[in-house]
Structure 1
């Protein structure tokens, strides 16, 4: 199968993530998209990052019922800090029958040369770049194993959603209904989401 590796904090997962992944499955030839929830890096102080398992739970709630999506805790079991090159190596080792495509935004593509072992990632893997406003990509100039998606742009921020809910705003239409209810039940309005310490949001 052709599998898209959509790695991120998903803090929380929102409709922008889901709509993009849906498009990539339906229009870009991916059989599945794996939402690769990135674990908290113990070397970094991150007060706004929800608990790893809670973020994974939210992804599972969001993708339930759509057979082309999978929630993955794969990186939870790798050495930290987690590097994309190591994740891709391990995925290919564990699932040799599948072909993996790294999904990144054009903003990250602009910085790709700064990624850890970026040259090896580029030489050994397929990359699918989706558009982000302000980061144009010349599709004709891309390496042969890098494809520019024609997906719509989705400008929704997880930070915006957390802040809005903590301010008591109703942003249910930015989230899958099950995710919205889980966040409310977890106490997002009072800043008591699992794993978040009082401080920067």
Structure 2
């Protein structure tokens, strides 16, 4: 089984994340996409960041009707700050019969050479890259690497920052979140 790991704080998960995850699983050779909920750094206390388990709960609600989309809290118990290579090692220990790949926005590929053990990651894992709107259209050398797959997913210009700000301003943005997520966030008075 080939699984794409989609990393993020998902604060909160929104339809943009769901569209990318679903597109990856339906229009590539990935069998599943796992949303890897990145923990809040103990060194950065952001008041707008929901706690780890709240964000995990919201993500679980978002994927509950999509059997090919899952969540994982694998990073919650890893030493902080955490690096992707450490997560990959741990997740393979827990799931030795699965093949893992990374999902990332094209903008992240630009700085990939700065990641800890980036060469080891590229030697051992495939990268599934989706387009993002960014300043200028720079061609990255890695786009032509045999382990990098550019997936022509839709460009979604919704951010979790925009979602949080809009909720705080009491805007009805219910169409930008999975229905059950909007209902839960509203009931819990999150981000208000």
TM range (shorter): over 0.9
Q: CA deviation at 1:117?
A: 1.9
1:66 — aligned with what? 66
Q: CA deviation at 1:141?
A: 4.8
8 Å contact 2:143–2:149 — kept in the other structure? no
List per-residue Cα deviations over 1:103-154 (Å, max 9, x = no partner).
0100111111112222221122111111101255569952111111111111
Distance 1:127 1:116 in 2: 15
Report the TM-score when normalising by structure 2: 0.93
2:77 — aligned with what? 77
Q: CA deviation at 1:15?
A: 0.2
Which of structure 1's runs of 4+ aligned residues deviate more than 4 A?
135-141
1:154 — aligned with what? 156
Distance 2:29 2:79 in 1: 31
Q: For the structure 1 residues 137 and 177, does the alpha-carbon distance in structure 2 shift closer, same or farther, using more than 3 Å as the test?
A: farther
Q: CA deviation at 1:82?
A: 1.3
Q: CA deviation at 1:93?
A: 2.1
Q: How big is the alpha-carbon RMSD for the aligned residues of Structure 1 and Structure 2?
A: 1.6
Distance 1:93 1:125 in 2: 15
List per-residue Cα deviations over 1:72-127 (Å, max 9, x = no partner).
11111222211101101112222121111100100111111112222221122111
Report the TM-score when normalising by structure 1: 0.89
Q: What SS is found at the alignment partner of 2:55? A: helix
Distance 1:173 1:10 in 2: 17
List per-residue Cα deviations over 1:45-90 (Å, max 9, x = no partner).
3222111000000001111121101111111122221110110111
Distance 1:100 1:142 in 2: 20
2:179 — aligned with what? 177
Structure 2: gaps (5+ residues): none
Q: Does 1:129 align with 2:129?
A: yes
1:43 — aligned with what? 43
List per-residue Cα deviations over 1:12-61 (Å, max 9, x = no partner).
00000001110000001110000110011112232221110000000011
Q: Does 1:31 align with 2:36?
A: no
Number of residue pairs the alignment of both structures matches: 190
